[in-house]
């Protein structure tokens, strides 16, 4: 069943329980400190924090924290547990495709909760948004996120982000302008408003080849945000071409592109902008580039389905609605 209505989670309150969960990749010993640092950040926001049982150092099956069935069972348990009020992914990885058919979507509809994460977790956001309308949070997670990128950021930026995340998770008023940085670039000017949708670009493209595809009309008038890590520049070009052939680029109103990370072939200044504009052709949509959404971190939270205002010429991005209720 596909939902066209936005499903906002209940706003978090002081003392609510947030669980850090292994939703995809394993936890290497080197990243144990990241999980503990995430606990510190979330507790400073006023929440209780615990770890899911699968989040154990050294536990793994191939490239995953456990089998897809085990991860799905744990996720479903968290979704059904009324005490759990939010779920933060420990890391991304390569596993979510393995359990899309095992998720208890009825529990999401019955008790929607904020789920935070990016990379492979963006696939979870896309599918749950398509099937239930859930406003999933393309946002930082434990590794590196809260536990790695945040401690490395300037103190003022950390404080700014901590206040922003607390407002997004607990506030029922529109957030307004997201805090910009000097890296933001106008690749094509213009101002539009529309619901946010996006994630890791390879997941956006690949999920469309499955029964869990996002309905094309969900992109109508949307602000598409995406990012990518690893691989080659030609891969990004190919994923964008998939979005063109599928008609998605003809439906969206605007585009926000994350800071690329570790992509071969993007060494020259302006290379990614050139690729994006080449594929867009004469589509007159505003494009804001080099925004902190994804692997370059620390991340700005991007709640799927929430209306946003994009003014690429002024290099601003604002959330016009609350992400929680």
> pLDDT tens across 215-272, in order?
999 999 999 999 999 999 999 999 999 999 999 999 999 999 999 999 999 999 999 9
Interatomic CA distance for residues 96 and 88, integer angstroms: 15
Instruction: Kindly give, in sequence order, each residue whose CB lies less than 8 Å from that of residue 39, ignoring residues fewer than 6 positions away.
Output: 20, 49
The residue among 138, 170, 202 that closes a domain is: 170
Looking at residues 37-50, what average pLDDT do you find?
A: 98
Instruction: Kindly give, in sequence order, each residue whose CB lies less than 8 Å from that of residue 204, ignoring residues fewer than 6 positions away.
Output: 122, 126, 198, 214, 226, 239, 243
Residue at token pair 């490239």? 63
Same domain membership, residue 28 and residue 107: yes
Rg (CA), the chain: 18
Evaluate whether residue 5 is within a structural domain: no
Same domain membership, residue 152 and residue 190: no
**Cα atoms in the Cβ-side hemisphere of radius 13 Å centred on 246:** 22
Alpha-helical segments (H) within the chain: 32-44, 68-80, 105-110, 121-132, 147-152, 155-170, 201-207, 233-245, 248-251, 271-280
pLDDT for the residue 3? 67
Same domain membership, residue 154 and residue 48: yes
Residue 207 has pLDDT above 90, yes or no: yes
The residue among 130, 146, 170 that closes a domain is: 170
Q: Please, is 316 exposed, middle or buried when counting C-beta atoms within 10 Å of its C-beta (0-12, 13-18, 19+)?
A: middle
Same domain membership, residue 208 and residue 296: yes
Q: What residues make up the domain containing 191?
A: 176-319
Same domain membership, residue 232 and residue 120: no
Looking at residues 10-21, what average pLDDT do you find?
A: 98
Residue 1 has pLDDT above 80, yes or no: no
- Of the chain, the percentage scoring pLDDT greater than 70 comes to 99
Task: Give the CATH number of the domain where residue 145 resides.
Answer: 3.40.50.10740
Catalytic residue, candidates 90, 292, 295, 321: 295
Q: What's the pTM?
A: 0.97
Same domain membership, residue 227 and residue 138: no
- Of the chain, the percentage scoring pLDDT greater than 90 comes to 97
The residue among 170, 185, 204 that closes a domain is: 170
Looking at residues 20-34, what average pLDDT do you find?
A: 97
Q: What is the average pLDDT score of the chain?
A: 97
Name the phi and psi angles at 131, rounded to 5.
-90, -30
Interatomic CA distance for residues 248 and 186, integer angstroms: 21
Catalytic residue, candidates 74, 227, 228, 292: 227
Residue 273 has pLDDT above 90, yes or no: yes
Same domain membership, residue 185 and residue 112: no
Looking at residues 292-308, what average pLDDT do you find?
A: 96
Residue 137 has pLDDT above 90, yes or no: yes
Residue 2 has pLDDT above 90, yes or no: no
Residue 296 has pLDDT above 90, yes or no: no
Confirm if 53 and 20 have CB atoms less than 8 A apart.
no
- What is the domain count for the chain? 2
Same domain membership, residue 148 and residue 183: no
Catalytic residue, candidates 3, 24, 107, 119: 119
Residue 65 has pLDDT above 90, yes or no: yes
Same domain membership, residue 315 and residue 185: yes
Looking at residues 16-40, what average pLDDT do you find?
A: 97
The helix (run of H) or strand (run of E) holding residue 323 is none
| Distant-in-sequence contacts of 148-155, Cβ < 8 A, 24+ apart | 148/31, 148/34, 148/37, 148/297, 149/297, 149/298, 149/299, 150/37, 150/41, 150/298, 151/37, 153/298
Confidence tier at 297 by pLDDT (50, 70, 90): confident
Catalytic residue list contains 149: no
Looking at residues 22-33, what average pLDDT do you find?
A: 97
pLDDT for the residue 206? 97
Looking at residues 291-320, what average pLDDT do you find?
A: 97
| Buried b or exposed e, range 80-115, using 16+ CB within 10 angstroms | eeeebbbbbbbbbbebbbebbeebebebbbeebbbb
Catalytic residue list contains 295: yes
Looking at residues 196-207, what average pLDDT do you find?
A: 98
The tokens describing 30, both together, are 């080197």
Catalytic residue list contains 129: no
Same domain membership, residue 166 and residue 22: yes
Same domain membership, residue 252 and residue 129: no
Same domain membership, residue 161 and residue 231: no
């Amino acid at each position: 069943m596909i939902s066209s209505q936005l499903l906002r989670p209940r706003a978090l309150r002081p003392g609510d329980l947030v669980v850090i969960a292994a939703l995809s990749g394993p936890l290497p010993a080197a990243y144990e400190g990241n999980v503990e640092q995430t606990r510190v950040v979330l507790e400073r926001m006023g929440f209780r924090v615990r770890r899911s049982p699968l989040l154990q150092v050294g536990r793994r099956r191939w490239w995953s924290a456990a089998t897809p069935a085990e991860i799905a069972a744990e996720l479903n348990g968290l979704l059904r547990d009324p005490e759990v009020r939010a779920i933060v992914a420990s890391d991304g990885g390569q596993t979510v495709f393995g359990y899309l058919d095992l998720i208890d979507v009825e529990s999401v509809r019955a008790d929607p909760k904020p789920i935070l994460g990016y990379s492979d977790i963006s696939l979870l956001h896309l599918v749950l948004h398509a099937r239930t309308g859930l406003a999933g949070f393309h946002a930082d997670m434990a590794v590196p996120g809260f536990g790695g990128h945040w401690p490395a950021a300037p103190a003022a930026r950390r404080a700014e982000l901590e206040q922003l995340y607390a407002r997004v998770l607990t506030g029922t008023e529109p957030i307004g302008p997201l805090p910009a940085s000097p890296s933001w670039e106008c690749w094509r000017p213009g101002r539009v408003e529309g619901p946010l949708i996006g994630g890791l670009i390879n997941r956006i493209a690949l999920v469309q080849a499955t029964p869990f595809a996002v309905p094309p009309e969900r992109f109508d008038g949307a602000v598409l945000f995406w990012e990518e890590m690893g691989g080659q520049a030609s891969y990004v070009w190919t994923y964008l071409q998939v979005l063109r052939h599928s008609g998605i680029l003809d439906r969206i109103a605007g585009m926000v592109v994350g800071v690329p990370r570790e992509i071969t072939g993007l060494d020259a200044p302006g290379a990614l902008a050139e690729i994006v504009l080449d594929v867009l052709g004469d589509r007159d949509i505003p494009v804001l580039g080099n925004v902190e959404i994804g692997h370059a971190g620390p991340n700005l939270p991007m709640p799927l389905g929430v209306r946003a205002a994009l003014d690429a010429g002024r290099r601003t991005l604002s959330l016009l609605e609350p992400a929680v209720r």
